[in-house]
Structure 1
Amino acid sequence: MPAVSAASTEGGFYPPSAFYFKVVFGNSANSPDASFQDISGITSEMTTEDVAEGGENRFVHKLPRGVKHSNLELKRGIAPLTSPLVTWCKSVFEGGLALAIQPKTIRVYLLDEKAQPLRGWVFVNAYPVKWDVESFNSTKNEVAIEKIAFSYSYSERLK
């Protein structure tokens, strides 16, 4: 039986694995902030409006209103203060809105075994809206985790 390759995943025979991915903030392709444990929130949903049929009570039409996106959530071990992502988050959350928030473009790539992008998503005008440190527990031996949620204007699938 032949080995499964990236080409066979592209041909639709096997879905790609979800554990090998890369995150890029702005133009910093080789940033130390590219390592994350978990990414969630790559979601688009069409909102609808219910309109009752005039004079005909049996029908309710669902008309499209627009697309909404959930927040993009990234999860990783707590990073040092020198991290560019931590610096950005600190300026947003601890700056008291004294300075304008600087949105960035965030790119997420699902990679193959040769570190080449299989799929990609771009999140435009993203900025942090939540910075959460998970609870500490003295009875467990786990890595201290931070979660950062980003709002964004829109997203596009690249591949």
Structure 2
Amino acid sequence: MFKYPPIGLHFSVNFIGLVALMPGIPDIGFQEVTGLDVTVTTEEFKEGGENRFSHKLPTTATFSNITLKRGMLNHSQLISWFKKGVEEFHFTPSDLLITLLNEDHVPLHAWNVVQAYPVKWSVTGLNAQEPQLMVEQVELAYQYYRAIPII
């Protein structure tokens, strides 16, 4: 039986350990998650006597920052966590669990993001001519992520 690829519109983002640091309702609802990617950098070596090509060998993996986007909230664990980092310069890393869900809320894919911390916060501009929803974006740096197999 043919199965279509999953649609990326139903997902959750859970901050593991953030509830203990910042009490309140957990932040899990986001409109968009971007930046879940990795690039392997390579180093080029030339071999003496071999002029046709050079050898490319992998060196390190580089992970992009993750950006979370959603409608702006008045009270939020995530923003309190970010403010503590900016105002007190005390950053407490937190792991994230990003889960892609199907229409029955059953996990299809999951990614564990390790040691994330906020590095940027922004909101859409204010404009009296256009009634737009205020959208906030939080950018997170992290060490690495790993895919979690779903059985």
- Using structure 1 for the length normalisation, give the TM-score: 0.83
1:112 and 2:106 correspond: no
- Point out where structure 2 has 5 or more consecutive residues left out of the alignment: none
Counterparts of 1:134 and 1:49, CA distance in 2 = 40
Deviation of 1:76 after TM superposition, in Å, equals: 0.7
CA distance in 2, matches of 1:85, 1:51: 45
Equivalent residue for 1:79? Answer: 73
Aligned alpha-carbon RMSD (Å): 1.8
2-structure distance, mates of 1:152, 1:112: 27
CA distance in 1, matches of 2:144, 2:26: 25
**CA deviation after TM superposition for structure 1 residue 139, in Å:** 2.8
What CA distance in whole angstroms lies between the structure 2 residues aligned with 1:50 and 1:61?
6
Q: What percent of counterpart residues are identical?
A: 38
> What is the CA-CA distance between 1:77 and the residue it aligns to?
1.1
- Write the letter of the residue equivalent to 2:42: T
Please report the TM-score for the alignment, with normalisation by the length of structure 2.
Answer: 0.87
Structure 2 counterpart of 1:38, one-letter code: E
- Does the CA-based 8 Å contact 1:24-1:31 persist in structure 2? no
Structure 1 regions of 5+ residues with no counterpart? Answer: 1-7
The 1-side partners of 2:67 and 2:118 are apart by 9
Aligned partners of 1:85 and 1:21: how far apart in 2? 17
Moved over 4 A (4+): none
2:31 alignment partner in structure 1? 37
